[in-house]
A and B are shown apart, each in its own frame.
Chain A
Amino acid sequence: MSITNLLNNWSFYRQKRPYQGQYDLNRQYSEYKWAMALDLDICTGCNACTTACYAENNLPVVGKKRFNQGHVMHWIRIERYWDENMGEFPEQGASFLPMMCQQCEEAPCETVCPVGATSHTNDGLNSQNYHRCVGSRYCSVNCPYKVRYFNFWNYPSTAWPAPLPDQLNPDVTVRTKGIMEKCTFCVQRLNEAKSRARTEYRLVRDGEVVPACVQACPTSAITFGNIVDPKSKVAMMWKNQQVDLYKDMQEKDNSVRGYRILEDLRPFPSVMYLERVRDMEA
């Protein structure tokens, strides 16, 4: 998609995003639509995923001062919440929430980009084109999950004192000052797997490729896969949890744990969370 094409057909592309009941998954995606399921009952908040993400995606370490200014670049972060009515002590522990780009189907960030730097790929990812990004930061403002990170500084020149650059992943661009970045579901791994599958005249098998966070997670709290394939674990989990990619405000049985965060804003996220469980009798 060229920028001219995008601008000439702006209204078409804007409307292409789905609304309730307009689309079904198989019409929208023929081969792949990547999605996640994240079980908050077994996520322990250990941060193994976030460190794995730093290693895989060349995330710069920004240091204390810049962290304080909100310039931290963690594509996946663990939010910690205390219960609102907890009294003197948090008797039911803490709530941990791993938060990364939700790869929304109707992504609020995509429509506001003045240069079309962030758009949907044909495997359902919300992509970020670093070369096209001019750093307006509208996308970040519009993201309800606050998972877009802006390069306020020229990190390639400061964040990796030699020989730390030797660790950088050559499959992932090192981003420079003035552009926006975010979780890509480890698109470099996905592309490699898709390319490998294509040479073997097949589709990527379930479990053949996972993002770095999924691979590291000690409790296997995150499930990743192709939701177009009804036999993939992630598709079965979504179905089992009565979560439909193109529906919002879904009515479900009380006992079903699946939900999507801020679903009522209708971004149609591709990440389903499973509710944290607590034994109230304990």
Chain B
Amino acid sequence: MGRVREGRVLKMEGNPESKISGGKICGLGQAAVQVQYNPDRLTQPMMRVGDSLQPVSWDKAMALLEEKTGPKSGINGNEFAFMTGAMSGHLKVLVQNYLDSLGSKNHFVYEALSPAVSFAANKQIYGVDMPRLHFDKAKLILSFGSDFLGTGASPVHFAKEYAKFRKAPRGTLIQIEPKMTMTGANADRWIPIIPGTEGVLALGVANQLLKHDDFSKTVPADIVNLVGKYDLDTVSSITSVRSDLIGHLAGLLWEKSPSLVISGASVEGHVHGVQNAAAIQILNRILGNVGKTVDGQAQSPFPQLAPATGSFASLKAMNDGMGAGTYKAVFIYGANPVFTTPSFMGFRDNLRKVPFKVAFVNAVDETAEECDLVLPIYTAVEDFGSHVAWYQPEGVEITMQQPLMDKLYSDTRSMGDIMLDLVKQRRADEYKAWPNFFSYLKTAVTNIKPAVKYTDTDEHFWYDTLSHGVIHVDAPQQQIAENFSTEMLDLPTTVNSPDPKFPFYLIPSERHYFRDGRHANCGWLQESPDPLTTVVWDSWAEIHPKTAASMGIHEGDYLEVSSQNGTIKVKAYLFPGIHPDAISIPLGQGHESLGRFAKGVGVNPFKILNPVFEKNTGELAMFGTRVSVKRTGQSEIVVKDEGPVSTQMGRKLVVTLPADVAQLSKEI
């Protein structure tokens, strides 16, 4: 939703009719207007001439597309690849249809921060990609590194449920993670842990629980046996979590039922990521949470519209194909792999080997810089579309996107219109009924009418849909399984010996307003302080004050952070919410392109990630890189919102009340 005045969209708001947002909106959503009016938007098609991109007319651009990929080009399906970011709805169907028309199976969906490992674990255990999580029904949430309030599957929706969870009878949130996330900052108890050992801790807690007869019958005997080896001392020495805390956690879980145990990116981004997640999920099984706080989402009756969320495997397949010279043409939409892929992949060099590369963008990013044809498309507030979120709290919600204003630049086009033109290159007869994407979408959406039992005319249905902005489809709930096996849970019980050359664990942290960096060219987001460090307009390395003191590091000192695959130079920020053996650098900055607000700001930790992969899925283990840290001797002030003192200095600014004293049930 947006407020429009004199044909201009001024402000975005959440749609109160959405079951997902409930009328609320995050800062990223607010910033959609800054994408729309961005001074660095691409306003006309660009074609590569020599080393640079030069303006060109749409006629010439489309003629070039026809020449290189049209029916007369002789290109076959195997020689063509289409990379997109996460996609859903009818544009995804059209992309698929275009690939079908070419006889190509090469739709590579890539998101640098995809939930692929989490999906794989859920699939093995529950038989579904993502279960429905009832935060509001839990008395205790035990979160292993899940930043569900900031960067999870559906932060605005989860925040809404979190607010209910905190009302009487107030639930307790415990967060265990190597670096404090925004969710961790809101926890009643925050526990630091050595990165990657979260699964072992979960099994340690499980071991304590299974000693009781109430719980030991909940899982097969072989699992009880396996869990038996994770005794307090072993787990404590592996995880660095005190052994009395492990027993305490088990006690709390036993006392506060139903609970909800969840895992997040920092748990899943390791070699044994799926096992880590499974070890955490077994607690839900033991505690009987499945069916109470963990159950199935609705089964969408429209699988073709369901979101493709992307994976590293997909990126790797395309990168290998490009490296081997398989492709004559590639299209890239909604992804910026040149920026988000680690250097070891050589993605930029491989992309250069492809003879014809096309990018569909709002602004020229690092990937578009490498392309031969860069086509300017409408922004989200100028175009029609339909979307299905991958986390659906109630039924299935199809979100309708419709223009809030006319196109700002006459030489931009709708991505849907372009795709329809491309499909028509080979299937003109089949698609002749639709002159544009609008008419295609209208027909396709109207076809949903029977599923929602709408009885009025098609025309009414269409306008009703647009005026509400969402279609709610009642759908049966997915049944979820509970498959746990000893193979899934068998995590190493030996301590990782520290690598003397690379003594620190690197935590490439996801900032809630930057994600993988695609929104970095919005001034509002650059100037919005990071919630925990309050730093703006920069990158920084979070290091524990104790570690910093032992190395003589002060705030603002430039550090050289090196992995086997590269070095970045970044300012230190002393941060108590991090494990002393870890160093955290936020993702999203370090752009070489994209526009004036992003270019040259900060560093890009994606580049120094090591080739470490999750062993079940082949996904890049984002948290598996070890680094060394060296002082450079240079120093610069860290620009941040917090003052010189980070405590309240005894003033009553934020007062904390113990939960057992508060009487929330008497409040309004």
Q: Which residues of A contact B (CB under 8 A)?
A: 40-42, 44-48, 50-52, 54-56, 61-64, 67-68, 72, 74, 77-84, 86, 88-97, 159, 161-170, 212, 215-221, 233, 236-237, 240-241, 254-257, 259, 261-262, 273-282
How far does the Cβ of B550 sit from chain A's closest Cβ, in whole Å? 13
- Could you say which residues of chain B place their CB within 8 Å of the CB of A212? 11
- Could you say which residues of chain B place their CB within 8 Å of the CB of A45? 182, 185-186, 531-532
- Could you say which residues of chain A place their CB within 8 Å of the CB of B167? 42
Asked whether A48 and B536 contact (CB < 8 A) given A90-B190, A97-B653, the answer is no
The interface stretch among B295-303, B490-498, B656-664 is B656-664
The contact string, 1 if C-beta is below 8 Å from chain A, for chain B 644-668, is 0011111111111111111110111
Q: Are B536 and A219 in contact (CB under 8 A)?
A: no
Q: Are A89 and B163 in contact (CB under 8 A)?
A: no
Q: Are B513 and A47 in contact (CB under 8 A)?
A: yes
Instruction: Known pairs A81-B653, A90-B180, A93-B185; list 13 more (Cβ under 8 Å).
Output: A47-B528, A48-B27, A74-B527, A89-B192, A90-B185, A95-B654, A167-B36, A216-B26, A219-B163, A254-B661, A257-B657, A262-B651, A279-B188
The chain A residue sitting closest to B643, CB to CB, is: A79
Which of A48, A63, A68, A96 counts the most B-chain CB atoms under 10 A from its CB?
A48
Q: Are B156 and A218 in contact (CB under 8 A)?
A: yes
Q: Are A93 and B163 in contact (CB under 8 A)?
A: no
Which residues of B329-353 have CB atoms within 8 Å of chain A's CB atoms?
none
How far does the Cβ of A88 sit from chain B's closest Cβ, in whole Å? 7
The chain B residue sitting closest to A99, CB to CB, is: B653
Q: Are A77 and B641 in contact (CB under 8 A)?
A: yes
CA A275 to CA B160, docked complex, whole Å: 19
Q: Are B187 and A164 in contact (CB under 8 A)?
A: no
The chain A residue sitting closest to B528, CB to CB, is: A47
CA A94 to CA B189, docked complex, whole Å: 10
Q: Which label, helix, strand, loop or mixed, suits the secondary structure of the B interface?
A: loop
Q: Which of A55, A77, A221, A254 contacts B163 (CB 8 A)?
A: A221
- Chain B interface residue count, CB cutoff 8 Å, equals 97
CA A159 to CA B526, docked complex, whole Å: 13
How far does the Cβ of B586 sit from chain A's closest Cβ, in whole Å? 14
Q: Are A68 and B637 in contact (CB under 8 A)?
A: yes
Q: Are B191 and A280 in contact (CB under 8 A)?
A: no
The contact string, 1 if C-beta is below 8 Å from chain A, for chain B 150-166, is 10000110011011001
The contact string, 1 if C-beta is below 8 Å from chain A, for chain B 622-651, is 000000000000000101011000111111
The chain A residue sitting closest to B649, CB to CB, is: A84
Q: Does B129 contact A (CB under 8 A)?
A: no
- Could you say which residues of chain B place their CB within 8 Å of the CB of A162? 39
Which of A46, A167, A275, A278 counts the most B-chain CB atoms under 10 A from its CB?
A46
Q: Which of B8, B155, B527, B664 contacts A218 (CB 8 A)?
A: B155
How far does the Cβ of B277 sit from chain A's closest Cβ, in whole Å? 23
| 29 CB-based A-B contacts, threshold 8 Å | A44-B149, A46-B26, A47-B513, A48-B24, A51-B528, A54-B30, A54-B524, A67-B536, A68-B639, A78-B531, A91-B189, A91-B190, A93-B180, A97-B653, A165-B37, A167-B8, A167-B10, A170-B10, A215-B23, A216-B24, A216-B25, A218-B24, A218-B26, A255-B662, A275-B655, A277-B659, A280-B659, A281-B659, A282-B188
Q: Does B184 contact A (CB under 8 A)?
A: yes
CA A255 to CA B86, docked complex, whole Å: 48
- Could you say which residues of chain A place their CB within 8 Å of the CB of B159? 44, 46, 218-219
- Could you say which residues of chain A place their CB within 8 Å of the CB of B11? 52, 55-56, 169, 212
Q: Are A276 and B657 in contact (CB under 8 A)?
A: yes
Q: Are A169 and B189 in contact (CB under 8 A)?
A: no
Q: Are A47 and B531 in contact (CB under 8 A)?
A: yes
How far does the Cβ of B219 sit from chain A's closest Cβ, in whole Å? 26
Q: Does B380 contact A (CB under 8 A)?
A: no
- Could you say which residues of chain A place their CB within 8 Å of the CB of B537? 63-64, 67
Which of A79, A163, A168, A218 counts the most B-chain CB atoms under 10 A from its CB?
A218
The chain B residue sitting closest to A216, CB to CB, is: B25
Q: Does B17 contact A (CB under 8 A)?
A: no
The chain A residue sitting closest to B192, CB to CB, is: A89
Q: Does B576 contact A (CB under 8 A)?
A: yes
Asked whether A48 and B25 contact (CB < 8 A) given A90-B190, A90-B576, the answer is yes
Q: Does B172 contact A (CB under 8 A)?
A: yes
- Could you say which residues of chain A place their CB within 8 Å of the CB of B252? 281-282
Q: Does B534 contact A (CB under 8 A)?
A: yes
CA A218 to CA B191, docked complex, whole Å: 26
The chain A residue sitting closest to B527, CB to CB, is: A61
Which residues of B396-446 have CB atoms within 8 Å of chain A's CB atoms?
408
- Could you say which residues of chain A place their CB within 8 Å of the CB of B87? none
Which of B172, B596, B637, B648 counts the most A-chain CB atoms under 10 A from its CB?
B648
The chain A residue sitting closest to B26, CB to CB, is: A48
Asked whether A219 and B160 contact (CB < 8 A) given A68-B639, A95-B654, A169-B10, the answer is yes
Which of B155, B646, B650 counts the most A-chain CB atoms under 10 A from its CB?
B646
The contact string, 1 if C-beta is below 8 Å from chain A, for chain B 516-558, is 0000000111111101101011100000001000000000000
CA A216 to CA B3, docked complex, whole Å: 14
- Could you say which residues of chain A place their CB within 8 Å of the CB of B160? 218-220
Q: Are A278 and B659 in contact (CB under 8 A)?
A: yes
CA A80 to CA B654, docked complex, whole Å: 10
Q: Does B13 contact A (CB under 8 A)?
A: yes
- Could you say which residues of chain A place their CB within 8 Å of the CB of B639? 64, 67-68
- Could you say which residues of chain A place their CB within 8 Å of the CB of B641? 67, 72, 77, 79
The contact string, 1 if C-beta is below 8 Å from chain A, for chain B 9-39, is 1111110000000011111001101101111
Q: Does B132 contact A (CB under 8 A)?
A: no
CA A74 to CA B523, docked complex, whole Å: 13
How far does the Cβ of A159 sit from chain B's closest Cβ, in whole Å? 8
Q: Does B212 contact A (CB under 8 A)?
A: no
CA A50 to CA B546, docked complex, whole Å: 33
Which residues of B180-220 have CB atoms within 8 Å of chain A's CB atoms?
180, 182-192
- Could you say which residues of chain B place their CB within 8 Å of the CB of A84? 647-650
CA A137 to CA B653, docked complex, whole Å: 24
- Could you say which residues of chain B place their CB within 8 Å of the CB of A82? 576, 646-647
Which residues of B459-498 have CB atoms within 8 Å of chain A's CB atoms?
none
Q: Are A46 and B27 in contact (CB under 8 A)?
A: yes
CA A92 to CA B174, docked complex, whole Å: 9
Q: Are A89 and B190 in contact (CB under 8 A)?
A: yes
Q: Are B24 and A51 in contact (CB under 8 A)?
A: no
Asked whether A257 and B662 contact (CB < 8 A) given A164-B34, A220-B24, the answer is yes
CA A275 to CA B512, docked complex, whole Å: 25
How far does the Cβ of B266 sit from chain A's closest Cβ, in whole Å? 16
The chain A residue sitting closest to B409, CB to CB, is: A163
Q: Are B656 and A275 in contact (CB under 8 A)?
A: yes
CA A276 to CA B170, docked complex, whole Å: 12
- Could you say which residues of chain A place their CB within 8 Å of the CB of B150? 44, 46
Q: Does B5 contact A (CB under 8 A)?
A: yes
The chain A residue sitting closest to B531, CB to CB, is: A45
Q: Does B85 contact A (CB under 8 A)?
A: no
CA A274 to CA B647, docked complex, whole Å: 19
- Could you say which residues of chain B place their CB within 8 Å of the CB of A77? 529, 641
- Could you say which residues of chain B place their CB within 8 Å of the CB of A50? 27, 528
- Could you say which residues of chain B place their CB within 8 Å of the CB of A55? 10-12, 30, 33, 524
The chain B residue sitting closest to A82, CB to CB, is: B646
Q: Are A46 and B182 in contact (CB under 8 A)?
A: yes
- Could you say which residues of chain A place their CB within 8 Å of the CB of B596? 161
How far does the Cβ of A232 sit from chain B's closest Cβ, in whole Å? 11
Q: Does B273 contact A (CB under 8 A)?
A: no
CA A221 to CA B36, docked complex, whole Å: 29
Q: Which of A61, A233, A259, A282 contacts B655 (CB 8 A)?
A: A259
Q: Are B653 and A261 in contact (CB under 8 A)?
A: yes
- Could you say which residues of chain B place their CB within 8 Å of the CB of A46? 26-27, 149-150, 155, 159, 182, 512, 531
Q: Are B668 and A80 in contact (CB under 8 A)?
A: no
How far does the Cβ of B147 sit from chain A's closest Cβ, in whole Å? 11
Q: Does B577 contact A (CB under 8 A)?
A: yes
CA A63 to CA B134, docked complex, whole Å: 41
